[in-house]
């Protein structure tokens, strides 16, 4: 039976200073940030496979977190790479046999640092990817202006800019083929969609993102995320 797979990236994308812990293992409303991100996929019908990308030295902690906070759902824990692209490729290699057997239809790739993504966003990228081959959620980038060399506001039209979010969803066979071709080329994309577009010619569609789908980046974001969780009764 065909199912969809959710990949959650917690292998430490972004800067980490010294021996500090990855922020996705911070508690938030009684659970770790990464657990909220996994929980998102658990709530979407059809997503029957979960893959979590982690750093090798976080494996023990991740095991404890999953045992305590996510006990009833199988999660494949895979060691990620040094870059987002490499982590995604490792996740796809982990799923490759099932993808080739036709057991996985759509693969969704999500940042673990986005714990509050509404289920509606996942359902929409999933439905769009099933129809078109690829979909990403995004918000219009407002209050943006160009500046010319003299420091004056540019007259150019900036209404076409968007702020891309996750999860991003793609047909599994095309995603795997794109990453295999990229590996053969030595190409490392900065985002999933660009790799699929470049190597598979998939026209990736944009669906409406959500302002609540914040990525925990700044210290302030933690307070905002906790407030939003409290407002929802600590439920998704």
Partner 1 sequence: MDNVHIVTLGCHQCHGEHLHEVTYAGRLLASTLCSNCGHRIAKDLPGLRRAYIADVEHRILTKPGRMLRRVIHHPVSFARGLPGALLLKPARMEAELRVLTGRR
Which of 135, 154, 120, 133 lies closest to 205 in space, CA to CA?
A: 135
In the complex, least distance from residue 68 CB atom to partner 1, rounded to whole angstroms: 7
Radius of gyration (C-alpha) of the chain in whole angstroms: 18
| Residue the block writes with tokens 């990817």 | 129
Query: Contact region for partner 1 (CB under 8 A) — 66-74, 120-128, 147-155, 205-213?
Result: 66-74
- Cβ closest to partner 1, residue 15 vs residue 159: 15
Residues 85-124 that bind partner 1 (CB under 8 A): none
In the complex, least distance from residue 25 CB atom to partner 1, rounded to whole angstroms: 8
In the complex, least distance from residue 111 CB atom to partner 1, rounded to whole angstroms: 15
In the complex, least distance from residue 80 CB atom to partner 1, rounded to whole angstroms: 17
Cα end-to-end span (Å), the chain: 28
- Cβ closest to partner 1, residue 70 vs residue 179: 70
* 220 binds partner 1 per the rule CB under 8 A: yes
* 67 binds partner 1 per the rule CB under 8 A: yes
Q: CA-CA distance, 28 to 143, in Å (whole number)?
A: 30
- Cβ closest to partner 1, residue 210 vs residue 221: 221
Is residue 175 within 8 A of residue 196, CB to CB? The reply is yes
Which of 137, 98, 131 lies closest to 117 in space, CA to CA?
A: 137
Residues 13-42 that bind partner 1 (CB under 8 A): 14-23, 25-30
Residues 200-219 that bind partner 1 (CB under 8 A): 216-219
In the complex, least distance from residue 34 CB atom to partner 1, rounded to whole angstroms: 13
- Cβ closest to partner 1, residue 30 vs residue 201: 30
* 233 binds partner 1 per the rule CB under 8 A: no
In the complex, least distance from residue 64 CB atom to partner 1, rounded to whole angstroms: 9
Q: Which residues of 190-199 are buried (b: 16+ CB within 10 A; e: fewer)?
A: ebbbebbbeb
Chain-centroid distance of CA 1 in Å reads: 24
Which of 153, 158, 177 lies closest to 93 in space, CA to CA?
A: 177
Is residue 3 within 8 A of residue 48, CB to CB? The reply is yes
Binding residues for partner 1 (CB under 8 A): 14-23, 25-30, 67-68, 71-72, 216-223, 226
């Amino acid at each position: 039976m065909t199912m969809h797979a959710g990949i959650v990236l917690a292998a430490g994308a972004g800067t980490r200073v010294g021996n500090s812990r990855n922020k996705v293992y911070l508690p938030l409303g009684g659970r770790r940030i990464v657990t909220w991100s996994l929980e998102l996929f658990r709530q979407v019908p059809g997503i029957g496979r979960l893959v979590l990308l982690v750093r090798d030295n976080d494996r023990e902690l991740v095991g404890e977190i999953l045992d305590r906070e996510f006990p009833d759902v199988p999660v494949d824990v895979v060691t990620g790479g040094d870059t987002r692209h490499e982590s995604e490729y490792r996740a796809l290699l982990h799923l490759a046999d099932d993808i080739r057997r036709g057991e996985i239809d759509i693969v969704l790739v999500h940042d673990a640092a986005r714990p509050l993504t509404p289920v509606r966003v996942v359902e929409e990228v999933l439905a769009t990817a099933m129809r078109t081959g690829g979909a990403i959620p995004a918000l219009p980038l407002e209050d943006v202006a160009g500046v010319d060399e003299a420091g004056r506001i540019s007259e150019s039209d900036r209404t076409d800019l968007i702020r891309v979010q996750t999860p991003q969803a793609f047909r599994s066979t095309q995603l795997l083929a794109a990453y295999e071709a990229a590996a053969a080329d030595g190409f490392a994309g900065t985002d999933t969609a660009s790799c699929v577009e470049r190597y598979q010619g998939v026209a990736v569609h944009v669906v409406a993102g959500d302002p609540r789908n914040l990525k925990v980046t700044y210290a302030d974001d933690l307070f905002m995320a906790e407030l939003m969780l409290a407002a929802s009764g600590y439920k998704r």
